[in-house]
Amino acid sequence: MRNFDTLRTLVRGDIKEKEMMSKHTYYGIGGPADAYITPIDKEDLSMILRFAYNNSIPAYFIGSGSNLLISDDGINGLVLNPGKAFRHIKFNDSNLYAESGAMLGRIVRESIKRNLSGLESLIGVPGTLGGALVMNAGAFGGEISNYLKSVKIMNMKGEIKSYYPNDLNFAYRFSSFKENEFIISAEFTLKKEDPRIIHERKDIANLGRKTNQPLKFRSAGSVFKNPKKFAAGYLIDKVGLKGTKIGDAEISKHHANFFINNGRASSSDILGLIKLAKKKVKKEFNINLELEIKLIGFKEKIELCN
Ligand SMILES: Cc1cc2nc3c(=O)[nH]c(=O)nc-3n(C[C@H](O)[C@H](O)[C@H](O)COP(=O)(O)OP(=O)(O)OC[C@H]3O[C@@H](n4cnc5c(N)ncnc54)[C@H](O)[C@@H]3O)c2cc1C
C-alpha cells in the first residue's frame, strides 16, 4: 500500500487514489490504479514524473483508453492522463499545433473546416492525439504520422525533448516512442485541398466504419494487427469463432477482430477470447496473431504479444 501524502503536497492537479480504471477505458474494464493523476500544467507533470522516477514507482500514460485492456487486478503504480491541461489546438495557415489530450475527432473536424487535408480518413477513430501517435493510428489509407512535423515529449526526469520525423520510426500500428516518454504536443504540416475531395475521403471513411464495425458495443477496436496476407478478422471468422462468448465477453458477429463487452465482462473474459483466437489461428493457419491493443497490469503480457 503506497502512501501519496508527499506527492499531494507537491502536485497541484487532481490525484485520485484507488481509482477504478473501468471508468477510463472504452471496454469499461479495469481494476484500481494506485493513483490516477491529471496534471495541471507542464511544471506539475514534471513534478509527478520526477516523483515517480525518484521513488521507483511505475508510471503509465493513458489517453481515452480506446485501445487498452487493463487487468481487473488494477495497476500497481501511477496513471497519468493529459486531462484538460493539454487539450489546446491551434492553426497557422497549413500548420497545426495540437496537445496530446486533444481528441482526434476534434482535430480532424477543425482541419476539415479549414480545407486542410491529411487527417480526414481518420474521422471516427476514437481517442486522443497522444494515443493516436503512440499507436500510429490509421484508417482508410491514412496514418497520423503521415503529416507529422515534430513531437514534444517529457521524460521521467521532467526534461522536454523535441523529435522530428527522422528521429522516429512509424509502421502499421507501431511507433518508436519509449514507454516512459509522455507525449505533450505535436505539430503537423497539412495540405490545402479542394473541400469536395476532402469531404469525399471523409465520407468514405465514415461509411466504411459504420458498415464494418460494431459501434454500438463497448470494444477497443481491432484486437489484433492484421497479418501480412489476411485480415485478422477473416482468420478468426474462418476458425469458427465469430460469436464465441466467455462470460460477458464476445467475439463480435459483425467483425471478428472486435471483441465486445456485453456489460459485465472482466479482463480475464477478454483475455480468454484472445488466447482462444491466437491458439486456433496458430493451429489452423500457422499464423501468430499479434496484439494491437495494449495490455496494462497483466503478468503474462509478454507471451501474449507475440
Ligand atoms: C470503435 C473503435 C474503433 C477504432 N478504430 C480504429 C481505427 O480505425 N484505426 C486505429 O488505428 N485505431 C482504431 N481504434 C483504436 C484506438 O481508438 C486508437 O488506437 C487510438 O488512437 C487510441 O487513442 P487513446 O487516446 O484512446 O489511447 P489509449 O488507448 O489511452 O492508449 C493507447 C497507447 O497510447 C499510450 N498513450 C496515450 N496517451 C499518451 C501520452 N500522452 N503520452 C504517451 N503515451 C500515451 C498509452 O500508454 C497506450 O500505450 C479504434 C477503437 C475503437 C474503440
Give the per-residue pLDDT at 212: 85
Q: Does 125 contact ligand 1 (Cβ within 6 A)? A: yes
121-137 per-residue burial string, b: 16 or more CB within 10 A, e: under 16? bbbbbbbbbbbbbbbbb
Q: Does 291 contact ligand 1 (Cβ within 6 A)? A: no
Q: Does 255 contact ligand 1 (Cβ within 6 A)? A: no
Backbone angles phi, psi at 281, to 5 degrees: -70, -40
**Rounded Cα–Cα distance for residues 157 and 176 (Å):** 19
CA of 63 to the centre of ligand 1 (A): 7
Q: Which H or E run includes 93?
A: none
The secondary structure of 2-14, three-state, reads CCCHHHHHHCCCE
Query: What confidence category does residue 242 fall into, taking pLDDT thresholds of 50, 70 and 90?
Result: very high
Q: Which grid cell is 122?
A: 481518420
| Predicted confidence (pLDDT) per residue in 134-153, tens digit | 999 999 989 999 999 999 99
Residue 302 has pLDDT above 80, yes or no: no
**Rounded Cα–Cα distance for residues 250 and 270 (Å):** 8
Q: Report the pLDDT averaged over residues 213-221.
A: 92
Query: What confidence category does residue 157 fall into, taking pLDDT thresholds of 50, 70 and 90?
Result: very high
User: Which atom of ligand 1 lies at the shortest distance from residue 133's CA?
Assistant: 21
Pocket test for ligand 1, best of 38, 66, 173 (most atoms within 8 A of CB): 66
Please name the residues in contact with 225: beta carbons below 8 A apart, sequence gap of 6 or more.
Answer: 172, 173, 232, 289, 290, 291, 292
Beta-bridge partner residues of 70: 296
User: Which atom of ligand 1 lies at the shortest distance from residue 140's CA?
Assistant: 8
**Rounded Cα–Cα distance for residues 136 and 176 (Å):** 10
CA of 292 to the centre of ligand 1 (A): 10
Q: Which grid cell is 184?
A: 505533450
Residues belonging to the active site: 173, 222, 292
Amino acid at 295: L
Of 96, 76, 186, nearest to 132 by C-alpha is: 186
Coil, strand, or helix at residue 266? coil
Query: What confidence category does residue 306 fall into, taking pLDDT thresholds of 50, 70 and 90?
Result: very low
**Rounded Cα–Cα distance for residues 21 and 33 (Å):** 7
DSSP labels, 86-131: G--EEEETTEEEEETTSBHHHHHHHHHHTTEESSGGGTT--SBHHH
| Predicted confidence (pLDDT) per residue in 160-199, tens digit | 999 999 999 999 999 999 999 999 999 999 999 999 999 9
Q: Say if residues 213 and 255 touch (Cβ distance below 8 Å).
A: yes
| Predicted confidence (pLDDT) per residue in 67-117, tens digit | 999 999 999 999 999 988 999 999 999 999 999 999 999 999 999 999 999
The answer to whether the Cα torsion of 123, 143, 228, 225 is positive or negative is negative
pTM above 0.75, yes or no: yes
Please name the residues in contact with 303: beta carbons below 8 A apart, sequence gap of 6 or more.
Answer: none
Q: Which residue segments constitute the domains of the chain, with CATH numbers given?
A: 5-81 (3.30.43.10), 87-212 (3.30.465.10), 232-305 (3.90.78.10)
Q: Which grid cell is 259?
A: 471483441
Backbone angles phi, psi at 179, to 5 degrees: -60, -25
| Share above pLDDT 90 across residues of the chain, in percent, rounded to a whole number | 92
User: Which atom of ligand 1 lies at the shortest distance from residue 183's CA?
Assistant: 42
Q: Say if residues 90 and 129 touch (Cβ distance below 8 Å).
A: no
How far apart, in Å, are the Cα atoms of 59 and each of 2, 20, 53, 56, 274?
A: 13, 16, 8, 9, 26
**Rounded Cα–Cα distance for residues 268 and 272 (Å):** 6
CA of 293 to the centre of ligand 1 (A): 8
CB atoms within 10 A of CB 244: 19
Strand 32-38 versus strand 138-139 pairing type:
unpaired
CA of 66 to the centre of ligand 1 (A): 5
How far apart, in Å, are the Cα atoms of 290 and each of 142, 159, 222, 229?
A: 21, 33, 11, 14
Q: Which grid cell is 123?
A: 474521422
